[in-house]
Structures are given as C-alpha cells and as structure tokens.
Structure 1
Amino acid sequence: MKRHNIALALTALLASSAASADIIISEYIEGSSNNKAIELFNTTDATVDLSQYALQRFSNGGTSPANIALSGTLAAKSTYVLVHSSANATLKGYADIETTDINHNGDDGWVLVKGDVIVDSFGKLGEDPGTAWESGDVSTVNMTLRRKDAVMTGDSNFEDAFDPAVEWDAFAQDTFDGLGSHAGYAGSDPEPEPEPEPEPTEFGVCGDSAHRISAIQGNALSEATGASPLVGQIVIVEAVVTGVYKSGERPLNGFFLQEEDAHQDDDPNSSEGIFVYSPTDTYAPVAGQLVRVQGEVAEYFNGTQLSNISNMVVCAEGQDVTPAALELPLTSRDEFERFEGMLVQVQHPVVVTGTDQLGQYGEFKVADERLMTPTEIAAPGEPAKAVAAAKAARVFRIDDARSVTNATDVPFPPGGLSADNTLRLGTEITNPQGIMHYSFDEYRLLPTQDLQFVDVNPRTTAPAAAEMGDVRVAVFNLLNLFNGDGQGGGFPTERGANNILEYDRQLPKAVAAILGLQADVVGLIELENDGNGENSMLVQLVAALNDAGDSEWAFVNVGGSGIIGGDAITNAIIYRTDRVAETGTGVFTTQVPFDYGSRPPVAQTFKDLVNEDEFTFVVAHLRSKGSCSSSAADGDKDTGDGQGCWNATRVAAVEKLQEWLAGHPTGRTDEDVIVMGDMNAYTMEDPITAMVEGGFTNLKAAFAEEGQATHTYWYRDESGSLDHAFGSEAMTAKVVAAQAWHINVDEPKVFDYNLEFKDIPLDTQYYNEDPYRSSDHDPVIVAFTTVESNPDDDGGTDPDVEDPGAETPEEEHVNIDHATTSSSFPLWFGLVALLMAGFRRRA
C-alpha cells in the first residue's frame, strides 16, 4: 500500500531543493546485534569526490540528524560500504570503512546529502513508523534491502511516503553477499572474475584426461557453505553445452556445461553441471557441442562457476545429455544444490504460486502445488510451523534468463504478458525442462523447451454465486480508494493513487469489480474516510456506479458528515435500491478496540423488495498483522505461531463486535445477521475461531465445494483467506452459496492501476478497465434465499423482526455512536450539490 502523509516541518537543511544524484544508497543491512551496513553506489561513468557528500541518520522520527562525513573518491560504477565497527567478521570483510555511526534500527531514516542538498533518502524523515517501514514482504527491520537494479536515481523527496517495496528487494536477516556490487557492477571492476588472471596449465587435446564437473562442484548440500573444493584452481573440463546466454539485453554472459552421461559419478549429492562465465565473443559455443574448456574455479555469490577462460576447443557437434530427474518436494532447500548448473526435467506438473516479479523481472515461482499460508490450513503454533518449514523445499523460480527489467516482451505466458494475456496463480505447467541456475539467492529454472501451460484457473466474468439465491451480499477491500480533493486535485493523499492519472485508472477497475459481483448489498473496506459530501469518495463512487450500470445504487448514511472514527480509511455499505431497502438505522461503533487499529464496524438492516424478508448486514475490518510496536502487550506481540502481531486485539474486536450486535444496534431485532469483512486473520487463527465459538458460521468454509479455492489474499508466495463471511444460525439456514471471486489475488500485480515502472507502452499494455487486479484482495459474495413475510404480522414486515419501539429505549444501546432515521442517497454525479443541500430520498 502506498501511504502519503502530510509533510512535516524539518530542519532548514532538509528543506533545501533537490540535486541530481551521482551517488545513491544501494543497500541497507539491519541485521542481528551490530550487523549494520549502508552501501553507496556511483551511478556515473566518472570518479566522484566523496568529500562533497555526507550521510545523515534521523532516529525515531527525529529531525536532528547524526552526521557522517565521507572522504576519498569512489570510482565509476563502484560501491562504498560503511559497516558498524562491532559487526561480525563476515560483514566487516565487505567494509570500506568501519564506524560506530552506522547504528540504525528499522525506524531510523537515512539521507545522503551533497553539500546542503539532499540527493537520496531512505525512510520518511520526521516520521516514526513504530518498529519499521513495511510494505508487502519488505521491512526495514531484521532484513537486508537491496535497491532494485532499475533504480539509478536517488529519492530526493524526503517528505513523501516511504514504501520500501517500490524500490527495494528484501532478503533474509544477516544476508551479506550482495555487498560490494550493484546492478551487475562489482566494486571498481564490473567484471566478477577474480584477479589477477591465473597462470595457464597444459591444455591437451579432446579426449585427454580432464576434471570432472562433479569433483569441481563437490557434494556439500548447502548454498551458503557448499563452495567448490577447487576454488582458485585452474581446471580443464570436457563436457556438453546445454545452454548459451550471451546475447540480448544484459545477458548472463556465459554458457552452461554438463558432464556426458557416461562420465557422471554415482554420488546423488554432486552436481554434473556448471556455469562458464565468458562475457567476450572469444569463446562462444552453441548448445549441443562437446567442448574442452580451461578456466579457473570461482564462487560468485555462492554460485560455482568457471571464469577467466583461457582456452576452448569444440570436440564434437550434436551431443546431448539426459536431464536430471527433479521431483518436489525435496528433503530441504539445500537439496537444490545438487542440481546447480544442470539440465533438469521436473517429473510432474508444477503450479504457479507467485507472480509478483513477473512484469518487472520476467520471473515467477512454482511449486508442486499451490502454497497456502500455514495458518490457513494448520492450527497456529507447531502445526503451522511445520507447514512453514516445508515451504523452501517445494518452490523455485522460472526465469526468462535475462537481467532486463520492465521489459515489453515478457515471454510468459505464451504470446507475451499483457492485460489480455494473463498468467494466473494456480496455472499448471506440464513437466518443465531447463537448466537449474543459482543467482540472487534463488534457484531458477531457465527453460530450454517451450513451457506447456494448462489454464486450470481461468478468469471468470462473474462469480458463480451471482446466479444463486434471492439476495446477494458481498464485501470488497478497495485497496485505498482515495479521490484527492474530489475535484481533480489534492494528490497525493494519505493513501492510494499518487496523482489524478493513477486515480483515473483505479476508479474504473473498482467500479467494474463491484458491478461484476452482481450483488445487492456491498460492504466496502479501505475507502477514503472523507464523509458524504459531494466531493467525498463514497458519493463519487456511488455516482460512478450509477453512471456505469443499469441499477440505482445508494449508500447507507450513518449520520452527520459521514466521517467514521479517526482513521484515514473507513468501512461503508452501498446497495441497489431496486433490490433492497433500509429498514433500520445505519450505525457504527468506536468502542475499544474499534477506537484505534481496528476500524469501526458499520451495520444496517435491510429487507428484500420481493419478500420483505429482513437481514442485518455488518462490515468489519480488524487490525493488521504488521507493525508490532513497543506498545504491544504480550498477547499482541508476534510469538512466531503464525498469527503475527496484534492477535489479542483482533480477538477482543471479535468479542466486542458480537456484544455490540447482540444489542441490535440498528434498532431491528432480526436474527438474520451476516458479518463480512477483512478480519486480518487466516481461517485457522484465533479471531476466526472466536467468531465461530460466538455462534456464527464461517460461511465460505462451510459452503466451499470440494477442491474449491477460498483464498482472498497472497503474501510471500502463499495464498490464504483474510476476508470472510459469517452468518448467524438463522442466516446460515438461508445461505445457498458463499465464495471468493478470484479477480485480484491470482492476477499479476503489474496489472494494477499504478504507473511506477510503466513507461510507454507498458502503461497501456498492462492495463484494462476491467475488474482484474482492481485490488490486492479478492471480494467475497454470499447468496441466500428469503422468506415471504406475513402481511398480517407487524404491518407486513418480516415476522422474525421485532421493532423495539418504546419497550427497548434507545438508552440501552449505549454502543451506538451515531444514529439517524433510515435514509439513503441514490445520487447522480451531476445532482450531488442539489441533493446534499437538503433532499433525502426514502428507501
């Protein structure tokens, strides 16, 4: 999520205008103990005088920096690494300078200045994020962050929000092997070969004795400690070329060799393949040749290779090798090491389980089956930990074998990636074949044959439940739908679109998704909390729905200005006036814990216009799992059981929600109650259990057909359900379907409304005004039947409903914060001002 906050007044220095950056911050390490480091990178082709620059650290949102003066020079396309002087020996081995001033935590910002002008920044100055700035799987605490290769310009705007996932890739805590290089450039020399070039040995002729690749690779199954036992030695290898990657934009600059079948050893732990780094055209074989090569054994970021090639001859043409058989899951991730550099054939179909880097880097993740969030399928604690531990042995990347970023011709799926040609999670690939390469801390299959995609999870134009039942209700997390000032300006706001161009792409996708649900009542989550005036997001969304569809939409008015609580985002309810009508009072509560973190739930009672059967609809959004701060009590700290932070608060919110609903806050005592929302808890977690134990049915789980996916969210290659629907006993008896509509989670992230890294033609290639990737959550829809009311009972209203009247005084509903008479606002955009001037239309 992108967050934009009001700029803070900082020091005069920080108010200076920006300058173009010769140097950027290229790596950030926030490791265990004193394992802290900052890497700088010279983006230019000339030497830079470091004495003109300084690093400044702003701690805990402070505005008075600690200054680190720099000195010396930094060569073109080179790095400069500053390391805490008490870091461990491994990290200090990368240091250009050691200093106690490199002493940051996850909530500390950094600024790189040239003179008195900012050229780059990390974090948001003047903001204390709590423990860390976080976005997706990228966090500034307990992680190593590397600047994306495509970023060659510093962030000189220290007042904008800091979304670390936009420009940074995350790696595990105490990952150091990326230091000293950036974007393919290593130190002051962009070539990775060791220096000096080794002395040559007797080369011989084809058929003479040679080193076996298995002996060079060794049989230690560890990507971190499994270095070749022959590092630094000159070797001669005679083997078959399985793939050549020396052309195209930023290629791998080399080729792969594999030992002939007859020369492979019997040790299952030793690889028979190896990468040969050969960036020049001097040695350029083709696949299928048997070649004799002389070079030096080297380790490049934990990948074994031959480099400094001094001789090569072709011994034969048209040769092949038998691919190694790969079956998932392996016993551990380390077992991938035995396939490093080898041609492999996966012995079964694999399933696409992650596409977040498909558009940017041309790569995606696969596993033996779709990976699920541990607490989606296992109880928190040891069962969930066991699921999590097995993940690493089940997944690898499929890579287009290019280092180009944001390409216009991503080759996956066949025909090339576009908004009309998607690659969805769950897609099967039949027995892929390719070379298993290790780079950037990941095992990557470089396909040597066309991949055979099987679309077992196609897009749908509407959820199946749209054709079921008498009434349909839904909930949809809009991913921060904010409209600026509502008049085309006011961007960026605290969340959502950066500018009007992005908003004009976001709104049509949201409208398409809501209309596509074909629901009669829709709960909205992460909507801008700016009330119900003519320029509000709620009013303009309803107007857009009425403009685009054939039905008349209205919103539930919760009274007054429509501001709900004090958060930037809110929950809301909209509905079709041709299908249902409000019968109760639109209400919300801000009682603890809905005063902070968990957004106030919103409720209203409706009747369907055919049978006049009443039901109460509630929208909830509980506190998220991230951003544990020092204020978190024991029950809210992340205990490692899989439930994340603030679990106790979410459970308390469930209990308070049920207590609130037991008081019939809408003024109608209907027993047909349905609660829908983003609970920020997966299916097996405590808040979901608390809802069920409180008498509500988990509808999506109860009505899922065998094999039907119920997920609504994706995180770190794992799918799970954060968005749920719960029915009271009476309500559940009427439900005929409850399901997620998979229009967002399964789609590549690159299809969203954002324009970052989408220069022409990508801005149109990856965008349609359709519901797909309109948010990062899938909507949930529930269909149910209604019962014809008895016209002789209670004036023709639902016989299950009692109107408390004088017998249930309003004073008993102390948990109602705002109440109005039943009303709705069916609006057209051109009549908003008139309607808001005083006309209200009865449902």
Structure 2
Amino acid sequence: MDYITIREWTIKRHNLAIALSALLASGAANADIIISEYIEGSSNNKAVEFFNAGSTEVDLSTYVLEIYSNGDTEAGNTVPLEGTLPANGIFVVAHPQASAEIQAAADKTGNLYYNGNDALVLKNGTAVVDSMGQVGVDEDWASEGVAMAEQTLRRKDSIISGDTDPSDAYQPHVEFDTFARDSFGDLGQHLGYGASEPEPEPEPAPEFGACGDSATLISAVQGAGFSSPMVDSEVVIEAIVTADHQGGSGSLGGFFLQEEDADQDGDASTSEGIFVYHQDTQVEVGDRVRLAGTVSEYYDSTQISNLTGITVCASGESVSAASLSLPVSGMADFEAIEGMLVTVSHPVVVTNTDTLGRYGEFWVAKERLYTPTQVAAPAENNDVNIALNAFLIDDARSGSNPESVPFPAGDLSALNPLRLGTEITNPTGVINYSFSEYRLVPTADLQYVATNPRTEQPELAAEGDLRIASFNVENFYNGDGQGGGFPTDRGADSVAEYDRQLAKLVAAIIGLNADIVGLNEIENDGFGEDSAIAQLTAEVNAQSEAEWDFVVFEGADYVGGDSITNALMYRTDRVAETGTAVFTTDAPFDFGNRPPIAQTFHDLVNEDEVTVIVNHFRSKGGCSDNAAAGDQESGDGQGCWNATRVAAAETLLSWIEGNPTGRDVTDVLIIGDLNAYGMEDPIQALIDGGMTDLKLAELGAENYTYVYEGLAGSLDHALASESLTAKVVAVANWHINADEPTVFDYNIEYKSEFNQNNFYNADPYRSSDHDPVVVAIATEAGDTGDNDGGDPDVDEGGSAPPAEEEVPNLDHATTSGSFPVWLGLSTLLLALTRRRLKVTR
C-alpha cells in the first residue's frame, strides 16, 4: 500500500547527524525543571510529571515537551507547558483520555501520543532542559528491568538536573526507578512535595435489603455525562440481565443489567444499562438480580465491580430494547445508551473489516461511506465524521488473533468472507464501550444479506474485443529471485509469504481476462530472468492457457530510482508491441511521482493501435516542513503533495502530446494509481487537458478501488483520449480486494498455523489492497503500417477476410472458442513463430 499514514522514511546518516547536531546546538539549559515521573500504561493511560528542583519560580510559558516517534529526528507531537511553577512545584500533563485517577492529578491534557520507543525532549525555548530516550533511534529503551514501555518510571531522589543530551545512548535505570504498569498513586508528588489532602471518610455502605426493596436506579449511576457522578460510591441496584459474558478467560468477565421498564427515568440523556464485572455468581439472561458493589470508570466505561452481595430475585423477565439510528448527532447519543439493550432501527452495511481477523470486530454504518473528495470537490472541513456515522460490532472476547471469528454466520474463513457492503438487518445487542470505541455486542444472531457478493471475474467479461486493466499489486517483491533475499524493502518477509502472494496475484491477473495489464508497486529490479516482472509473467504463463510477455525498456537496467516501479504485461495471442517502450524521469517524475511508462500496442484482429501509459503519482502522506505551500496538508481533503501530483498530471499531458513511443496514435489510455480521488485536482487537470474520466462517465462518482478507515474511493483510474473514449464499451472495478477482510492477505504474521490456512486461499481475493480497473474497447479495422511481430495475415501472406466482411469481436469469456477459423489458424501460426524466436530474459 502506498497511501496516507504509511510513510516512506529513508533517513540518510548525514541527515541524521545534521538533525542531531542542530538539536544539540540549541544549547543545554541550566534550568531546574526535570521530568520527575513518566507513565506509559494501558490504553491511553499516559502522563508526564515535571518538578521544579530549583529555588525560584519558573515561567512555564516558554517550555515545551517534544515527542520524537519511531526514530524520527523531527518532533511529531509537542505539548506546551503553561503557567508558573514555584520552587518544589509540580506540573502534570496527561493524555486527554487517560483514566480518571490520572486526570484528577493533571494540570493540563495534551498530545501525549508515545510508546516505549519514542523519545521525549523538554525544551525551554530552543534549549534542551531534559530528555528521555535517544532522538533518531527506534528502540524500546530498557536496562536492568527499567523500561520506557508499559511501566511507570519515577526519577530517583538523587537526580535534580535533567539529561540535556538527547542524542546519547540511553539507559533508563541510571536515573529512574520502575513501578508496575498503571501505577498512578504517586502522580503529582515528588520528594515529599505535592502530597494531597487526606481522603475524607467514605460514606457508609447502603443496606443490601431484600428483593423489591428500594435501590439506586441505574440512570442515577450513569448520570447525564460521559462519567458517572457516583464513582467510588457503593450502591445497591436491582435490574434485569440482558447479556451474560461471564465465560472465563477471554470473555468480558461479567454481565449487563438494564433497569426494568417501569423504573426507567424517561430521560434520554441517561442510560438505563450498565456492565457488572463479576464472574463468581452464575446468572442468566432474563434473571432479575439484586446486587451491591462499587461504581467505577474502567477506561471510561461505567461499571459496577467489587461486589459485596448478589442474589437472583426472579427469572424469565425481559426489558424493552432502545432504538438506535445512524448517524447520531454527537457521541453523547452513544453514551446515553451505554450498557443498554438496543435494536438498530434500520439495516446497516459493513464498512470496515481491517481488524476483523485480529480482534473479532468490524464497523457498520447506515450506508456505504465515501471519501469526501471522491464524490465532491475539495473543500475545507469536508471530512466524514466516522464516529457519528458508524459503530463497531464486536465478538465480546478479549485477546487477539482468535482461531474462531463468529462473523459471518459459520465463522470467518477464506471461503466464507464478510465483505464490505454486506447488509445486516436491524441488529440487536448491548452497547459496550472499550478501547475508546462504542461497540454493539450482539444478543441475537446477525441476519446477513449478501448485497455485495464475490464475482469470479469482472462484470464485463464478454464485452469489447480489447481489454486493458490497471492493477496495483501492493509491493510485489521476489527477494533475490532465487528463493532468498528476504525480507526485502517492502512486501513479503519470507519465501513462504512470497509464494502465497504470487499465487494470489497470478489468480487475479488471469481472472481479469485482460489483454494488457498495467502494474503498480512491483519491485524495480530490472527485466532479467530473476526480476519480479519476469517471474510474475512466467508464473502467469504456467497457470494460464494464454501466452504472456512483458514490456522491456531497452537500454535501461531499471525504471527510475525508486524501490517500486510500474510495469506492463500483455497477451501475445491478442496484441503486439508496435512502439518503442519508454519512460521519463524528468521533473516531477524524478522523485515522489514514479516515472510513467508508455508503450503502443495493436490488437491482432483489427490492427487498431492504442498507447497505454501506466502511472503512479506521489502518495498523500508524509508532509515535510520544507514542502512547498501547495504540497502541505491544507485541510481540503486532498492530503499532502497535491501540487506535486497536479504537476505530474500536467507534465504527463505534455509528454503524451509528443508521441513518446514514436507512434502517431490518437487513442491514448492513462491508467494507474494516481493517489488522488475522483474529484481532486490531479484528476481534474487531466480532464481539463482533454482526457475523459472513464469511471466517472460509466460508473458515476460513487465508485471505488480502495477503502481507508471505512471510507471508499478510487485511487486507481482510467482516462482516455477523445478518440479512444468513443470506442470504450464498458468499464469496471473488480472488487476482489478493497471489500475483503485484510486478514485474507498473504501475510503470516499474527496468525497461528490454523489461521494461516483458514484465512488463506490461492484465489484473487485480497491479492492486494487495491481493486483492479478494467476497460473494454471495441477496436476498429486498420493497418498500423508497422507489423514487426504483428498480424501474420499481413506479414506472412495469410488470407485476410474480405474488406466488406465484419470482423467479430473477441469473446473474452471463452478465450478462443469464438475465434473465426482463419483467425485461429493465423494466431496459431503467430504463436508458433513467437515460440521459435522467443529469447530468455
């Protein structure tokens, strides 16, 4: 994948040295502010405590905490401090979604997005005051049991000045003591300073009473906000069990209760349901249970735990499900039904299955969600708020990589997929909040409607007599081409993964039933017999009844200097090369935008020529500070490097005008991954230059080849010149990848041996993260005038059909069964001739 959050970092040693030198040149400060406590706990439990070890008050407005992620030499997040800090004073910054205990000790919340391999640097202006970790190094810093990952670290009492060299090797045990993960008891205190006032005596616990006696209403426990107003209070409640998840290891470890219908308060802002963390007493759905326990917020989910009493009062009772509809107006709408039994008032569709195989969860929305710039012109603040439009459906099991995923019915497998677009009819379940998301845990079997089933081939199988496809093969690398050389820069990490990836790609290419296929993201390792393109073509030949070849750029060892490149494959029984294969590395194709490649082909029936140009424009991610204004993230939905992609589109048009293949051909097709959605500037530049957006014309704006975080859109395009547009009879996106669960891909990481087999099949589905695009063309009779290796009816004296006889279209559904006899014989003769002359590459 080459998009948005996946950044391509190649940090040269001299750049690293320059960056670190600049950091050190900022000067070491003599200030007395130090990092006195560091918390890297579960979920969002992160906090940093600062202590004024000096004797005078310090103005914090010039201080900033910088976070350097994953070995970066530029800070990814910064948190400015504020206010003044007296001598021996303490200032605490917390993650905005940290636990209530951390928040209670915090003076400020900020962007504390770090893990144990991220360096922290405290600066006063440009001067380094203190640091943790080593800037420019990606390492989980740990020494003698003291680690920056998943621990609470407290500065040793003897340390009263900071580490002002963020580039030196880092051993946390030298200056910090370690405490258990999620240890917050000392936060806001250091060297005896900052100790809080003693806790008041707790209120006496309420009497447990008997079934039917008065009890605290669940609505009062939940309150009208995101947190309970009764945290740490002991309560007695009596309500109905709506879902039981006491199943031991891997379960939620408790059950859900909902207030009886008659006792609900009628306030839409307060929930009538709650989770009870308790496994020692068996309960069943429909039981009316009376219990006593303590109210708590477990990672922002209100629950009752530490039960001191519980009894089952009755069985076989029920409560009414609340109604939920999408979109909601705000997250408070979900909070108002936290813990409750709900039924969605309308069908929903599956929109995201990225974590289905990993965590047993998937996203649903009322309808398919599209990237805004796929369907509308770029504009400020036009993002889709997924949180208001969708929610998760969850299997209610903790842990990861289960060997049984209960979605869809019959459990998930490579042969039983849950595809995006699948409709689920009015699901019913309880609303749970965990891992910062609201999720529905089904209490009844989900009812699936296969509104987007798999297809064995693109939905234009028999149309046209020349078919051209575009396919991003998601970093297809073959190691050294001899079974070794893994892992590579991208793609497969082992020969086993390579074999799995290869089998899927071959199945997809054959299934496309195309005559010419333009490829993106294939390894840029030349054209020899050990190259990725040669071995992919060889395997397609081994599995296909047709004969395939690939385009070679004579005199070039590689296409540009990027690790990945573009390539062209074609069926030699359908088309032949008539031009000179070329590419350009002129700006803006010298960096970022991969060099476009071009070749002219003619079909062997009509000798109609078309020039195919395969492109891969610069991705949307990784804005840098020195990028031009038009390449910065502007907030209009087009991401980074938009100006660079526009320049690529405009330069491409000029390049085409010069007939780069040496053939004076008006039929031109631009295909490839342009890293721009349908309504974005680069696509518009091509349209303004006279090209037709075939997918917009044939499929409408709501078409897609790629899904990112639940939003669908087309990054892969097909644009035709005016003369070629008149010959196009069909266009299709073959949805074999974007709609499939990610877990079906070739990777074997995070999969047991069972799952490596269960989730994999050597078929086209999830062969990549992009869907292929196919264009069907009705060619016209003509004579290229240049038949080197072309039509044997001209080259070798074959008998062509009479001029007035209509030449039938090739039937791509049958490969050769519909060929006229004369064409079958001539094609056979051509194939034999090519086999005699073919050389090993």
Q: TM-score, normalised by structure 2?
A: 0.75
Q: Is it true that 1:725 corresponds to 2:725 in the alignment?
A: no
Q: Residue 109 of structure 1 aligns to a residue in which SS?
A: coil
Q: Residue 839 of structure 2 aligns to a residue in which SS?
A: helix
Contact 1:30 1:106 (C-alpha < 8 Å) held by counterparts = no
What does 1:195-206 align with in structure 2 at a 5 Å threshold? 200-206=205-211
What CA distance in whole angstroms lies between the structure 2 residues aligned with 1:58 and 1:547? 44
Quickly say closer, same or farther: Cα 1:200–1:414, change in 2 above 3 A. same
Q: Residue 339 of structure 1 aligns to a residue in which SS?
A: coil
Counting aligned pairs with the same residue, the percent is: 52
Query: How far did 1:392 drift?
Result: 2.0
Query: How far did 1:200 drift?
Result: 2.9
Contact 2:425 2:447 (C-alpha < 8 Å) held by counterparts = yes
Q: Which amino acid aligns with 2:643?
A: A
Q: Residue 684 of structure 2 aligns to a residue in which SS?
A: helix
Q: Is it true that 1:777 corresponds to 2:775 in the alignment?
A: no
| Alignment partner, residue 138 of structure 2 | 109
Q: Is it true that 1:570 corresponds to 2:565 in the alignment?
A: yes
Indicate which of 295, 308, 316 corresponds to 1:318: 316
What CA distance in whole angstroms lies between the structure 2 residues aligned with 1:112 and 1:261? 54
Quickly say closer, same or farther: Cα 1:120–1:201, change in 2 above 3 A. closer
Cα deviation per residue 1:225-250 (whole Å; 9 max; x = unaligned)?
x2111222221111101111111432
What CA distance in whole angstroms lies between the structure 1 residues aligned with 2:47 and 2:641? 23
Cα deviation per residue 1:440-477 (whole Å; 9 max; x = unaligned)?
11001000000001110000000012311010000100
Quickly say closer, same or farther: Cα 1:565–1:257, change in 2 above 3 A. same
Quickly say closer, same or farther: Cα 1:645–1:37, change in 2 above 3 A. closer
| Alignment partner, residue 835 of structure 1 | 839
| Alignment partner, residue 224 of structure 2 | 219
Q: Which amino acid aligns with 2:258?
A: Q
Contact 1:217 1:227 (C-alpha < 8 Å) held by counterparts = yes
Cα deviation per residue 1:68-98 (whole Å; 9 max; x = unaligned)?
xxxxxxxxxxx9xxx9xx9953579999999
What CA distance in whole angstroms lies between the structure 2 residues aligned with 1:311 and 1:572? 70
Contact 2:371 2:713 (C-alpha < 8 Å) held by counterparts = yes
Q: Which amino acid aligns with 2:73?
A: N
Q: Which amino acid aligns with 2:331?
A: R
Contact 2:350 2:422 (C-alpha < 8 Å) held by counterparts = yes
Q: Is it true that 1:348 corresponds to 2:343 in the alignment?
A: no
Q: Which amino acid aligns with 2:313?
A: C
| Alignment partner, residue 469 of structure 1 | 464
Q: Residue 467 of structure 1 aligns to a residue in which SS?
A: coil
Quickly say closer, same or farther: Cα 1:536–1:98, change in 2 above 3 A. closer
Cα deviation per residue 1:694-720 (whole Å; 9 max; x = unaligned)?
110110111117xx9621111111111
What CA distance in whole angstroms lies between the structure 1 residues aligned with 2:789 and 2:756? 55
| Alignment partner, residue 257 of structure 1 | 257
What CA distance in whole angstroms lies between the structure 1 residues aligned with 2:276 and 2:309? 12
What CA distance in whole angstroms lies between the structure 1 residues aligned with 2:113 and 2:527? 57
Quickly say closer, same or farther: Cα 1:196–1:5, change in 2 above 3 A. farther
Query: How far did 1:302 drift?
Result: 1.3
| Alignment partner, residue 518 of structure 2 | 523
What does 1:639-718 align with in structure 2 at a 5 Å threshold? 639-704=634-699, 710-718=703-711
| Alignment partner, residue 628 of structure 1 | 623
Query: How far did 1:37 drift?
Result: 7.7
| Alignment partner, residue 167 of structure 2 | none
What CA distance in whole angstroms lies between the structure 1 residues aligned with 2:590 and 2:113? 48
Quickly say closer, same or farther: Cα 1:332–1:26, change in 2 above 3 A. closer
Cα deviation per residue 1:87-146 (whole Å; 9 max; x = unaligned)?
95357999999984457899763442436x999999xxxxxxxxxxxxxxxxxxxxxxxx
What CA distance in whole angstroms lies between the structure 1 residues aligned with 2:600 and 2:640? 33
| Alignment partner, residue 388 of structure 1 | 384
Q: Which amino acid aligns with 2:712?
A: S
Contact 1:543 1:827 (C-alpha < 8 Å) held by counterparts = no
Quickly say closer, same or farther: Cα 1:9–1:690, change in 2 above 3 A. closer
| Alignment partner, residue 305 of structure 1 | 303
Q: Residue 287 of structure 1 aligns to a residue in which SS?
A: coil
| Alignment partner, residue 243 of structure 2 | 243
Q: Is it true that 1:338 corresponds to 2:339 in the alignment?
A: no
What CA distance in whole angstroms lies between the structure 1 residues aligned with 2:441 and 2:325? 17
Q: Which amino acid aligns with 1:89?
A: K
Query: How far did 1:560 drift?
Result: 2.0
Q: Is it true that 1:210 corresponds to 2:206 in the alignment?
A: no
Q: Residue 703 of structure 1 aligns to a residue in which SS?
A: helix
| Alignment partner, residue 732 of structure 2 | 739
Cα deviation per residue 1:334-360 (whole Å; 9 max; x = unaligned)?
311111000000011000000011001
| Alignment partner, residue 409 of structure 1 | 404
Indicate which of 354, 357, 368 corresponds to 2:355: 357
How many residues are aligned here?
Answer: 685
| Alignment partner, residue 500 of structure 1 | 495
Quickly say closer, same or farther: Cα 1:670–1:94, change in 2 above 3 A. closer
Q: Which amino acid aligns with 2:341?
A: L
Q: Residue 288 of structure 1 aligns to a residue in which SS?
A: coil
What CA distance in whole angstroms lies between the structure 1 residues aligned with 2:112 and 2:677? 43
Q: Is it true that 1:788 corresponds to 2:781 in the alignment?
A: yes
Quickly say closer, same or farther: Cα 1:316–1:675, change in 2 above 3 A. same
What CA distance in whole angstroms lies between the structure 2 residues aligned with 1:256 and 1:832? 74
Q: Which amino acid aligns with 1:735?
A: V
| Alignment partner, residue 443 of structure 1 | 438
What CA distance in whole angstroms lies between the structure 1 residues aligned with 2:369 and 2:543? 37
What is the Cα-based RMSD across aligned positions, in Å?
A: 4.0
What CA distance in whole angstroms lies between the structure 1 residues aligned with 2:316 and 2:469? 60
Contact 1:598 1:623 (C-alpha < 8 Å) held by counterparts = yes
Contact 2:72 2:135 (C-alpha < 8 Å) held by counterparts = no
Q: Residue 325 of structure 1 aligns to a residue in which SS?
A: strand
What CA distance in whole angstroms lies between the structure 1 residues aligned with 2:433 and 2:653? 51
| Alignment partner, residue 161 of structure 1 | none
What CA distance in whole angstroms lies between the structure 2 residues aligned with 1:94 and 1:745? 29
Q: Is it true that 1:291 corresponds to 2:289 in the alignment?
A: yes
Quickly say closer, same or farther: Cα 1:722–1:118, change in 2 above 3 A. farther
Contact 1:58 1:110 (C-alpha < 8 Å) held by counterparts = yes
| Alignment partner, residue 138 of structure 1 | none
Query: How far did 1:297 drift?
Result: 1.4
Cα deviation per residue 1:267-311 (whole Å; 9 max; x = unaligned)?
111111011111x41x33211011111111111111111122111
Q: Residue 290 of structure 2 aligns to a residue in which SS?
A: strand
What CA distance in whole angstroms lies between the structure 2 residues aligned with 1:782 and 1:645? 29
| Alignment partner, residue 232 of structure 1 | 232
Query: How far did 1:572 drift?
Result: 0.7
Query: How far did 1:765 drift?
Result: 0.6
Contact 1:508 1:770 (C-alpha < 8 Å) held by counterparts = yes
What CA distance in whole angstroms lies between the structure 1 residues aligned with 2:600 and 2:670? 12
Query: How far did 1:793 drift?
Result: 12
Cα deviation per residue 1:665-706 (whole Å; 9 max; x = unaligned)?
01111111000010000011111111111110110111117x
Instruction: Tell me whether 786-795 or 766-775 shows the greater mean CA deviation.
Output: 786-795
Contact 1:671 1:730 (C-alpha < 8 Å) held by counterparts = yes
Cα deviation per residue 1:535-588 (whole Å; 9 max; x = unaligned)?
111111111111110111011111124410000000011100000111111010
| Alignment partner, residue 603 of structure 2 | 608
Quickly say closer, same or farther: Cα 1:357–1:472, change in 2 above 3 A. same
Contact 1:34 1:87 (C-alpha < 8 Å) held by counterparts = no
What CA distance in whole angstroms lies between the structure 1 residues aligned with 2:604 and 2:229? 78
- Specify the structure having the higher radius of gyration (Cα): 2
Quickly say closer, same or farther: Cα 1:416–1:675, change in 2 above 3 A. same
Q: Residue 274 of structure 2 aligns to a residue in which SS?
A: strand
What CA distance in whole angstroms lies between the structure 1 residues aligned with 2:344 and 2:501? 40
What CA distance in whole angstroms lies between the structure 2 residues aligned with 1:415 and 1:311? 39
What CA distance in whole angstroms lies between the structure 1 residues aligned with 2:10 and 2:635? 34
Query: How far did 1:27 drift?
Result: 7.5
Quickly say closer, same or farther: Cα 1:111–1:308, change in 2 above 3 A. closer
Contact 2:609 2:784 (C-alpha < 8 Å) held by counterparts = no
Q: Residue 648 of structure 1 aligns to a residue in which SS?
A: helix
Q: Which amino acid aligns with 2:301?
A: G
| Alignment partner, residue 89 of structure 2 | none
What CA distance in whole angstroms lies between the structure 1 residues aligned with 2:74 and 2:831? 43
